Amino acid sequence: MDQKEKRLIKKVKKGDHQAFADLVDRYKNSVCSICLRMVGNREEAEDLSQEAFIRAYNNISKFDSDRKFSTWLFRIATNLSIDSLRRKKPSVSLDAEIPGTEGLALNTLLPGNTVPPDEQIVMAETEQWIQKEIGALPDKYRSAVILKYVEDLSLKEISEIMRLPVGTVKTRVHRGREMLRKNMKESRGGRNDMPE
């Protein structure tokens, strides 16, 4: 952790809001990206990110300043996202395509769980497709894959975020990667026109 960040955290521990605002500005994009890729909904991702920062502030006394702040913060964000996914998890998969329809799933018919039309335009088609494939991964593979490939973190850092041995993280990345490959290939109809 760089010296400036150490100084900021020292101030935050004394209750300095402005110092905390600097930390929020430093990490808000990464935190929101993790949450978005985990839950797949922008509005929810922003709420979760805010919650993650508020929790970080309220628990800053427990943070060990010799460690990396981002690792600790990303752990909070990942855990909040997983909790939110579990709370919502229905007994029937809403992602499953309704038989006889072209790509129509139950969750596209439910209010609140849909991507608003104007956002659909903003979110490019490719991005939507990738997001859908990430969303199809089980939680534990999903978080490992997101931290590794979307956030570009090292396996060691991911193991600290998830508090798991590096070997376990590797296994999760391998399985997630293989599942992603298989699903992406199938959803593209086996054609080799995956966007570069």
Partner 1 sequence: MTCLNKRYASLMNKVLDGDATVKERNELFAHLATCDSCDRHFKELKRSTEILNHLAHPQLSADFTKNVLEQLPAEKQHVLREWTARHPVIATAAICVVPMSLLFVAAGRQNSMPKRHGEDSYILVNQTGSRN
Q: What are the residues binding partner 1 (CB under 8 A)?
A: 14-17, 20-21, 24-25, 28-30, 32-33, 36-37, 42, 45-46, 49-50, 53-54, 57-58, 127, 130-131, 133-134, 145-146, 148-150, 152, 155, 170, 173-174, 177-178, 180-181, 184-185, 194-196
Closest approach of partner 1 to the CB of residue 23, in Å: 10
Give min distance, CB of 164 to partner 1, in A.
16
Half-sphere exposure of 161 (CA within 13 A, CB side): 28
Nearest distance from residue 115's CB to partner 1, in Å?
12
Contact 51, 80 (CB under 8 A): yes
What 3-state DSSP class applies to 59?
A: coil
Of 15 and 90, which has the nearer Cβ to partner 1? 15
95 near 135, Cβ under 8 Å?
yes
Between 21 and 109, name the residue whose CB sits nearer to partner 1. Answer: 21
Min dist CB 57 to partner 1, Å, is 5
- For residue 105, the cross-strand partners are 97
Torsion of CA 156, 157, 160, 162, to 10 degrees: -100
Closest to partner 1 by CB, 37 or 160: 37
For residue 34, count other CB atoms closer than 10 A to its CB: 28
